[in-house]
Amino acid sequence: MKHIKYSIIIPHKNIPYLLERCLASIPDNDNFQIIIVDDNSDPKMVDFNNFPGVKRRNTEIYFDKQGKGAGYARNIGLKCAKGKWLIFADADDFFNDCFESVIEQSFNSSADIIYYSASSVNSNDLSPGTRHLGTERAIFNYVPLNNETVEDVKFSNWEPWTRLFNHAFIRDNSITFDEVMVGNDAGFVLKAGYYSKTINVDTRPIYCVTYRNDSLSFVISEKAFDNRFKAKILVNNYMIDFRKKYFRPIKKEIIEAKKYGIIKTFKMIFIARRYIFHKVKLKLKHLLLMKITF
């Protein structure tokens, strides 16, 4: 495995049949190191004796029993990666047919990050989806010397898929995933974008992101609601630190929190206090400038 070009890191939990589909979309050759990190799957849902990829070459499987989420699992994968380029995939997604032929054209690039477009489908029936549209919009609007479009590519979408990360760049900047249950990928993507000096953009869609009603991103419960809110705050705090404009609005969540009780609402406001103070400060600054202007 000393000639590995690409390390593909895949966190997995309780969806072996979809992981099989993901693995089937990856070319079976020595260019790829596949790292699967199982995040404490339920033995009732996973046959560990016949785990997906166990008989596949150049595939490493790590069974973590701590259940700390996809961010922790991805960090395990980072420690094991050997390729020049890092690629991240979710177990319920898959790569498009053009994947290897497209990325091979950029293998010798010296860029810190290479961004690609994506497609999306419903996971069950493969009908066309919309989850890729934000990524697609930023990619197709990109103009190399236009700083606004460059920042749109780097900061407007915070999923790690459809990107090649230069392994040396990630290692030299000690960039890792936040070990939280939802939104763990945001910090990695935003930090990588912030520290990157050179990027390349390719409009071809190498990856297909899927939609599932039962995925963590779409489950309706108080716990899921809390996690999604915290993910937005995590992103917003990064935006404050990096002085970028790509904030995630939280007004809807603050209003919605009322159905879980007034204590919940105050807790959410407390969690969001840094972002709220920042927005108030910006508004006061804007009003002051208007007053000075007139």
Per-residue pLDDT at 242 exceeds 60 = yes
The residue ranking higher by pLDDT, 225 or 116, is: 116
Query: What percentage of the chain reaches a pLDDT higher than 90?
Result: 75
Side chain identity, residue 206: I
Side chain identity, residue 290: M
Please, are residues 117 and 204 in contact by the beta-carbon 8 Å criterion? yes
pLDDT for res 1? 45
Q: Which residue has the tokens 């999306």?
A: 120
The residue ranking higher by pLDDT, 133 or 277, is: 133
The residue ranking higher by pLDDT, 179 or 242, is: 242
pLDDT for res 100? 98
Q: Which of 91-95, 96-100, 171-175, 260-264 has the lowest mean pLDDT?
A: 260-264
pLDDT for res 218? 55
Mean pLDDT score across all residues of the chain: 92
pLDDT for res 182? 73
Q: Which of 16-25, 169-178, 192-201, 242-251 has the lowest mean pLDDT?
A: 242-251
pLDDT for res 184? 83
- Give the Cα separation of 166 and 34 in Å (integer): 16
269 pLDDT band (50/70/90 cuts)? very high
Reading the block at residue 291, the tokens are 């007053």
Pick 6-211's CATH classification: 3.90.550.10, 3.40.50.620, 3.40.50.9100, 1.10.3720.10.
3.90.550.10
The residue ranking higher by pLDDT, 261 or 78, is: 78
pLDDT for res 102? 98
Per-residue pLDDT at 216 exceeds 70 = no
The residue ranking higher by pLDDT, 182 or 174, is: 174
pLDDT for res 6? 98
pLDDT for res 179? 85
- 36-74 residue pLDDT tens: 999 999 999 999 999 999 999 999 999 999 998 999 999
Per-residue pLDDT at 76 exceeds 80 = yes
φ, ψ (nearest 5 deg) of residue 288: -65, -40
Per-residue pLDDT at 215 exceeds 70 = no
